[in-house]
Amino acid sequence: MRWNLDQLRLFVEVAEGASFSAAARRLQRAQSAVSTAIALLEADLGLPLFERSSGRPPRLTEAGQALLEEAREVVRQAQRLDARALGLRQGEEVLLRLAQDEAMPYPPVLDSLEALAQAFPALEMRLASGAQGDVARRLLARQADLGLLFRHEHMPAELERRALGSIAMVTVCGAGHPLAARTVVDRRELARHRQLLVTPPQSGYPGGEQVGPQVWRGDSFYAMAELVLRNLGWAWLPVHVVQYPTYRPSLVELRSDWTPPPLVVELVWRRDEPLGPAARWLAECFATRLAAFG
């Protein structure tokens, strides 16, 4: 084996951008150097990775398509190794910045933070809460070290993820809504009423299916719950939001023939930045308490 990690990184960059010149600009390399590195990689592997034709962007060959994810994983593992070594050099954190989706259930989060304060009394914590998408944006901007969010399909590739548990979803309406008088509703009945959908269209968020022609969209479960309280529509909401003391008396849980799958709670962090001892400890604490909460 004579290929190296740099060649694999270039292979991934060219494949994802479908351009040798774009990869060269992003990495501040000469295009000829990128082309040479890919040619050497192909020679070492004994396989053509790209189809090249004048005036057209490079296209992955069948072999290139088969090897691309393998190359990505080698690059990811190298990033993890670098981050782990950096963490060992740095030792315990002085500051830990946690960003969380505003709809995270409070008990497991607050219990974990209380335990963290006892285990790491000198640690400074900075907490940030936001609606869907804010957590990932903070991590990408290096404004947070650790994030708690609900899994969605289009998670940025730069983030490492760990599933901690899940939260059930329920179908609800307000006490004064026409559906409140029904003991069981099917999809056709739901489609006749305005749906309050907690997701931007592009997110791939669980429960993001539009059932009927009338829909209002938002990025906050709590904002949608407030609209449900005013009988402006029905919604799928996490069970702990529905059971919130302020909402519980005025929300009606509907039995339906379909409910979205549970929301998967994930811990996320940047792959190229290490988790220190306190962050790793907090991650285990979150996982334990969320399992007990569910």
Question: How far is 176 from 181, CA to CA, in rounded Å?
Answer: 9
The Cα-based distances of 136 to 98, 113, 129, 198, 290 in angstroms read 11, 20, 11, 17, 20
**CB under 8 Å to 206, separation ≥6 — which residues?**
150, 151, 152, 169, 260, 261, 262, 263, 264
Q: Which domains does the chain have, with CATH numbers?
A: 5-88 (1.10.10.10), 91-163+267-293 (3.40.190.10), 169-261 (3.40.190.10)
Environment class of residue 56 by beta-carbon count within 10 Å: exposed (0-12), middle (13-18) or buried (19+)? Answer: exposed
28 secondary structure, DSSP code: T
Please name the residue ranges forming H helices in 91-235: 106-119, 134-140, 187-191, 221-229
The pair phi, psi for residue 97, each rounded to 5°, is -110, 120
pTM beyond 0.75: no
Q: How far apart are the first and last CA of the chain?
A: 48
**Dihedral of CA 126/130/132/138: which sign?**
negative
Q: For residue range 89-119, what is the model confidence (pLDDT) as tens digits?
A: 767 788 999 999 998 998 999 999 999 999 8
Closest CA to 105 of 289, 269, 261: 289
Question: How far is 105 from 107, CA to CA, in rounded Å?
Answer: 6
pLDDT score of 200:
55
Q: For residue range 126-157, what is the model confidence (pLDDT) as tens digits?
A: 999 987 788 989 999 999 999 999 887 777 88
Partners of 95 in the beta sheet? 124
Token pair belonging to 273:
């930045």
Return the H-helix or E-strand segment holding 82.
helix 62-90
The pair phi, psi for residue 30, each rounded to 5°, is -70, 140
Q: For residue range 67-87, what is the model confidence (pLDDT) as tens digits?
A: 999 999 998 888 878 876 776
Closest CA to 108 of 170, 162, 167: 167
Q: Which residues of the chain have pLDDT under 70?
A: 1, 84, 87-88, 90, 200-208, 294
The pair phi, psi for residue 154, each rounded to 5°, is -100, 50
